[in-house]
Amino acid sequence: MKDIDYAAPKTIAEACAILQEKGDKARCLAGGTDIIVQVREHRRDIDVLVDIKHIPQVNALNYDPGKGLTIGAAVPCYRIYEHKEIAKAYPGLIDAAALIGGIQIQSRASLGGNLCNASPAGDTIPPLIALEAICVIVGAGGMREVPVEKFCTAPGKTVLGRGEMLVQLKLPPPKPRSGAAYLRFIPRNEMDIAVAGAGVSVVLDEKKEKCIAARVALAAVAPTPLLVQEAGAALVDGALGDALIDKAASLAQAAAKPISDMRGTAEYRKHLVGILVKRALTIAIQRARAG
Amino acid sequence: MSKKIHVTTSINGKETEFLCEPRQSLLEVLRDVLMLTGAKEGCNNGNCGACNVLLDGRLVNSCLVMGAEAQGCKVQTIEGIATPQGLHPLQQTFLEGAALQCGICTPGFIVAAKAMLDQNPKPTEHQVRHFLAGNLCRCTGYDKIVRAVLEAAALTNK
Ligand SMILES: Cc1cc2nc3c(=O)[nH]c(=O)nc-3n(C[C@H](O)[C@H](O)[C@H](O)COP(=O)(O)OP(=O)(O)OC[C@H]3O[C@@H](n4cnc5c(N)ncnc54)[C@H](O)[C@@H]3O)c2cc1C
Ligand code: FES
Ligand code: FES
């Protein structure tokens, strides 16, 4: 790796000061599973890695059934899925946290890093969108909140400005009779990048026969992870069954704007979106009915 | 060149201090500074597991940890697995079952398998394969490796 500096600030203010001063030449280091490889392979030219794991807010994980979930931006995946209450309350998020890389990657990789890396195929982003996560961002100008579906702006690009960092992700408490799920397709069983992914959430009525709210989000089929509002809206109020699920799936397919690359053709990806949305909705509805 | 960083850590239970360049990974520090060459560099990008060590008890790829990050942490490497009394059961069953050919992947597999057995002493074959998905072997094939791990588990549970 080229010669760089390493800083380990203990406060958000210290970290933001370095990010402000160095601009593009400084990058946060959370789990390092993207950034270390990118710097080593000359895909990012930086002068300093800012290790944010010593900042208490960025490393904290808190769940309160009344208030919801706060995930520090650098909390590694394993802490989320090994937390029994969180795993029970947010199975749709766990679907993604437990499939990033292998065990070694999950020891380090964070949701904040997955999001800030802004890959169209980032696996935790669709479930975060489905679960209405909010990004808490801090910079010299103070604090601001951005819904997660607005965070990524292009491959590798986010709304973060000079001197800003992601501090936390906030998720509302799970609503009664709600369920979520994330599914992706990869050619192997483990350790690969999604050819397509679908994260969905549903909230059912008291009889558990209709949806009163639903969200559908996709990975790897557009320049950024995608919230498909019309697919969610189509599920609301109709009788829950195959016809309704098919309709939501075809709206998601219509919204997908995939490219062809070595992982799959655009046509193949569109086909996968239909299947993944249907299967993910079936699981989310089952979870909502069981919960 | 950037100023070297002084790091205090514990390696295989022994207090250890080292000086590293900020750009060095933990793997480079282990191999090039501390001369602990058990952990191997396979891919240097997180895919092969040859560089596996435990960092504060968690299995990590040391090629994806900066040396400076080890400050205040406990590091366990393949060198700490055998005891003066003898080989670890995993080392024994890998040898007996010929679960290695060139051996480059072996330290990583053994460190990973030990991490698994420490938390799940009676894994199923499926669990072993799932846990070891982040470790690659280019010559032996996985059957002998998986069998060696299951046999080590059986030995330990006897
Ligand atoms: C072998 C392997 C397998 C993988 N498998 C998958 C997979 O299955 N699915 C998947 O989606 N990804 C996968 N990845 C990619 C990677 O592991 C994930 O994207 C991971 O979530 C990144 O998190 P991190 O904490 O390691 O991020 P880092 O590498 O630390 O950071 C990622 C980027 O975000 C920036 N950043 C991090 N935190 C902040 C912050 N708080 N504020 C501002 N910027 C920040 C960094 O500067 C960097 O640019 C894999 C990687 C490897 C090496
Ligand atoms: S050398 Fe670290 S994972 Fe391959
Ligand atoms: S024995 Fe050669 S790579 Fe596994």
With CB atoms and an 8 Å threshold, state whether B25 touches A36. Answer: yes
> What CATH code is carried by the domain that includes residue A118?
3.30.465.10
What DSSP state is assigned to residue A236? B
* pLDDT score, position B1: 73
* pLDDT score, position A192: 77
**Is any atom of ligand 1 closer than 6 Å to the C-beta of B47?**
yes
Residue nearest atom 2 in ligand 3 by C-alpha distance: B102
Q: Which amino acid is at A42?
A: H
Based on the fold, state whether residues B20 and B48 are members of the same structural domain. yes
Based on the fold, state whether residues A63 and A35 are members of the same structural domain. no
Interface residues of A toward B, Cβ cutoff 8 Å, are 1-6, 8, 29, 31-33, 36-37, 40-41, 49, 51, 53, 78, 101-105, 107-108, 189-191
Q: Is the pTM of this model over 0.95?
A: yes
Based on the fold, state whether residues B21 and B64 are members of the same structural domain. yes
Chain A contact present for B68, CB below 8 A: yes
- The count of structural domains within chain A is 3
Based on the fold, state whether residues A155 and A241 are members of the same structural domain. no
> What CATH code is carried by the domain that includes residue B23?
3.10.20.30
> What CATH code is carried by the domain that includes residue B105?
1.10.150.120
Q: What separation in angstroms does the CA of A78 have from each of A55, A68, A94?
A: 19, 19, 9
Question: Looking at the DSSP assignment, which residues form a beta bridge with residue B53?
Answer: B60
* pLDDT score, position A190: 67
Based on the fold, state whether residues A230 and A139 are members of the same structural domain. no
Kindly give the parts of chain B with pLDDT less than 70.
none
* pLDDT score, position B109: 98
Based on the fold, state whether residues A196 and A211 are members of the same structural domain. yes
Based on the fold, state whether residues A230 and A247 are members of the same structural domain. yes
Q: Which of A34, A50, A95 to mutate to test the pocket of ligand 1 (most atoms within 8 A of CB)?
A: A34
Q: Which of residues 90-119 of B touch A (CB under 8 A)?
A: 112, 115-116
CA atoms within 13 A of residue B93's CA, in its CB half-sphere: 20
Number of residues assigned to chain B? 158
A279: containing domain: 178-290
> Is the separation of the CB atoms in A120 and A193 below 8 Å?
no
Q: Which of B60, B63, B109 to mutate to test the pocket of ligand 2 (most atoms within 8 A of CB)?
A: B63
Chain A contact present for B134, CB below 8 A: yes
- The count of structural domains within chain B is 2
* pLDDT score, position B49: 98
Q: Which of A76, A83, A282, A260 is nearest to A183 (CA)?
A: A282
ipTM of the complex, rounded to two decimals:
0.96
Contact residues for A56 (Cβ-Cβ < 8 A; gap 6+)? none
A52: helix, strand or coil: coil
> Is the separation of the CB atoms in A127 and A183 below 8 Å?
no
- HEC assignment per residue over chain B: CCCCEEEEEEECCEEEEEEECCCCEHHHHHHHHCCCCCCCCCCCCCCCCCCEEEECCEEEEHHHCEHHHHCCCEEECHHHCCECCECCHHHHHHHHCCCCCCCCCHHHHHHHHHHHHHHCCCCCHHHHHHHHHHCCCCCCCHHHHHHHHHHHHHHHHC
Nearest C-alpha in B relative to A33: B64
What DSSP state is assigned to residue A261? B
Based on the fold, state whether residues A50 and A83 are members of the same structural domain. no
> Is the separation of the CB atoms in A8 and A15 below 8 Å?
no
Based on the fold, state whether residues A154 and A82 are members of the same structural domain. yes
Q: Which amino acid is at A152?
A: C
Question: Among the three residues B26, B47, B80, which one is the final residue of a domain in this structure?
Answer: B80
Based on the fold, state whether residues B134 and B75 are members of the same structural domain. no
State the Rg of chain B over Cα: 16
> What CATH code is carried by the domain that includes residue A200?
3.30.390.50
Question: Among the three residues A148, A171, A194, which one is the final residue of a domain in this structure?
Answer: A171
Distance CA B84, CA B43 (A): 32
> Is the separation of the CB atoms in A251 and A227 below 8 Å?
no
Distance CA A58, CA A168 (A): 6
B38 alpha carbon – ligand 3 mean position (Å): 14
Q: Which amino acid is at A291?
A: G
Q: Which of A81, A172, A82, A76 is nearest to A128 (CA)?
A: A172
* pLDDT score, position A140: 86
A203 alpha carbon – ligand 1 mean position (Å): 30
Distance CA A173, CA A191 (A): 31
Question: Among the three residues B58, B80, B102, which one is the final residue of a domain in this structure?
Answer: B80
> What CATH code is carried by the domain that includes residue A16?
3.30.43.10
Based on the fold, state whether residues A188 and A279 are members of the same structural domain. yes
Question: Among the three residues B80, B97, B123, which one is the final residue of a domain in this structure?
Answer: B80
B49: containing domain: 5-80
Backbone φ and ψ of B111, nearest 5°: -60, -45
Distance CA A241, CA B120 (A): 41
* pLDDT score, position B158: 80
Based on the fold, state whether residues A61 and A166 are members of the same structural domain. yes
With CB atoms and an 8 Å threshold, state whether A3 touches B52. Answer: no
**Is any atom of ligand 3 closer than 6 Å to the C-beta of B137?**
yes
Based on the fold, state whether residues A61 and A152 are members of the same structural domain. yes
Backbone φ and ψ of B57, nearest 5°: 85, -10
**pLDDT mean values, one per 10 residues, chain A (291 residues):** 96 98 98 98 96 98 97 98 98 97 97 98 98 97 96 98 98 97 87 90 96 97 97 94 96 95 92 98 97 79
Based on the fold, state whether residues A150 and A187 are members of the same structural domain. no
Based on the fold, state whether residues B101 and B60 are members of the same structural domain. no
Question: Among the three residues A171, A193, A213, which one is the final residue of a domain in this structure?
Answer: A171
